[in-house]
Amino acid sequence: DQQVKQNSPSLSVQEGRISILNCDYTNSMFDYFLWYKKYPAEGPTFLISISSIKDKNEDGRFTVFLNKSAKHLSLHIVPSQPGDSAVYFCAAWGNTGKLIFGQGTTLQVKP
Amino acid sequence: EAGVAQSPRYKIIEKRQSVAFWCNPISGHATLYWYQQILGQGPKLLIQFQNNGVVDDSQLPKDRFSAERLKGVDSTLKIQPAKLEDSAVYLCASSARNGNTEAFFGQGTRLTVV
């Protein structure tokens, strides 16, 4: 039962363009969402979060959008840089107090 | 502020052997998590502690995996006996509270069972 889904295993974009990573969830009780970035041989690092009372949160080049009615969130990276190449995980806090992760999307930013 | 520390970074063992991983969370963080990440998948929660009590261990294969968090600080995760399918990265994370907050991860331990 995959409650947090990232349906695109990979994404390739040109440097300077926008990267959009998507995430869908099934549990309407989720009320706090996070994005993590993971480089090879390292643990995931926290990137940005959003509470369900908001529909947008911005931090520098990173913006997360939340559409509660569609149970969908997205991470926008503008402009994309080669150093952004990594695996991005969407995660959500469940009502049982568990932090649940999606499968991840590998982003490649080409120079 | 020191991050989450894990050791060892890498471990190779034969099937049916035992192995233990250690985690030291960020100072003052009450909640500690062990995740298993198999290549190509997202992290899967194995066990979650609040101080030294278990909050959730529903996905921990208890016939072979065990974990403890003595004194509500450090934690160890043990596998005995290991199977080939246990090959994965084992990630430890901690957070200041349980729920609706950021969890911070260690670098992980890559386990290879041969």
Q: A58-82 pLDDT, tens per residue?
A: 999 999 999 999 999 999 999 999 9
3-state secondary structure of A84: helix
Chain B, 43-82: which have a CB under 8 Å from a chain A CB? 43-45, 48, 55-56
Closest residue on chain B to A42 (Cα): B107
3-state secondary structure of A1: coil
Q: Which residues of chain B have a CB within 8 Å of the CB of A31?
A: 100
CB atoms within 10 A of CB B61: 14
Contacts of A103 in chain B (CB under 8 A): 40-42
Is the pLDDT at B1 greater than 70? The verdict is no
A-interface mutation test, from B6, B58, B100, B111, most A Cβ less than 10 A away? B100
User: Do B19 and B43 contact (CB within 8 A), yes or no?
Assistant: no
Mean pLDDT of chain A: 94
- Does residue B37 have a pLDDT over 70? yes
Percentage of residues in chain A having pLDDT higher than 70: 98
Interchain pair A41, B42: CB under 8 A: no
Q: Which residue has the higher pLDDT, A1 or B68?
A: B68
pLDDT band at A42 (very low <50, low <70, confident <90, very high): very high
Measured between beta carbons, the chain B residues lying within 8 angstroms of A3 are none
d(CA A38, CA B93): 14
Chain A contact for B99 (CB, 8 A cutoff): yes
Is A43's CB within 8 Å of B41's CB?
no
What Rg value do the Cα atoms of chain A yield, rounded? 13
Of B42, B98, B104, the CB nearest to A104: B42
Chain A partners within 8 Å of B41 (Cβ): 103-104
CA distances from B112 to A45, A84, B23 (A): 23, 28, 19
Is the pLDDT confidence value at B8 over 90? Answer: yes
Residue-level pLDDT at A1: 59
Q: Which of chain A's residues have a Cβ under 8 Å away from the Cβ of B99?
A: 32, 93, 97
Show the tokens assigned to B8: 């060892």
Report the mean per-residue pLDDT for chain B.
94
Torsion of CA B10, B13, B19, B24, to 10 degrees: 0
Q: What does the pLDDT look like over B80-104, one tens digit per residue? A: 999 999 999 999 999 998 888 999 9
At A98 the pLDDT is 87
Please tell me the least confidently modeled range out of A17-21, A28-32, B60-64: A28-32
d(CA A6, CA B96) in angstroms, rounded, equals: 27
Please state, for a pLDDT cut of 90, what percent of chain B lies above it. Answer: 87
Neighbours of B95 (CB within 10 A): 22
